[in-house]
Each structure stands twice: as structure tokens, then as C-alpha cells.
Structure 1
């Protein structure tokens, strides 16, 4: 079977601008992250951390367990 992700409207490619580390806080229901504000005024790594956390939070936690094709379920169960 094939597994495809098509809804990527929450993914970003640009970093978030900032004036200080207080601008670089990611708040999620179960965990918060504070990232450094670079000398160039960008939250370093914020985009990557947001995208990875959201992928885990929505895809692996809710979608994958319920909709994996039968042939991929053994692989899914080992994650």
C-alpha cells in the first residue's frame, strides 16, 4: 500500500522574525519550547521544531494508527 500526506497547510519554510528570545517561544498543549533569537533577528530552528512536533502530534498520534494500510501495519507498530 501507499501512504500519502496531502494536507501541509501548517508547514512553514521561513523562520519567525524576533527581537529577543521572548519572541521565540513555541507553545503546545503538552510542551513548550524556547529557542534562541539569532543576531540577524530570526528564531533559530523554530520552523523545524514546529513542523516536527506538529507532524508527531497530528500524524503519528492520530492519523497513522487508524488509517495505515494492512501491509504497513507491522512497520507502523514498530515505530
Structure 2
């Protein structure tokens, strides 16, 4: 049975069926387990997160621009 025929029978969009087939072909042991990480990697680390939280706790009325400037000063060389 083709993916398009299965999609029609299941009442789903054919592209969804094709995506499921390609996921199965990439990782036959489990299509719901992500075998390959997709998307962008995180840019900010736990150190960034801690810096943001500490700065906001010290300055509750900080703006996004001020927070960005603070992060740039702290991590400019990294």
C-alpha cells in the first residue's frame, strides 16, 4: 500500500503519511522516538539563564534592551 493510499484510508493529509514513512525508514525501531535531533541548537547555556535570572531579580523593572546589553557585556568574549 502506498503512503497516499494509507493517508486516504486514515483520513489524514498525504504529506503526513509521507513524513511518517520517512520517519519509519530513518528509525524503524520507533517512529515516535526522535533518532535525529532536528532544528537549531540552543544558543544560550545554563550560565546565560542564571545570569538573566540574577539580573532580573536584582532589577525587577529591567527592559529587554537592558537585559540584552547586560548579556552582551557579560558574554562578549565567549
- Normalized per residue, the structure richer in helix is 2
| Larger CA Rg, structure 1 vs 2 | 2
- Normalized per residue, the structure richer in strand is 1
Q: TM-score, normalised by structure 2?
A: 0.28
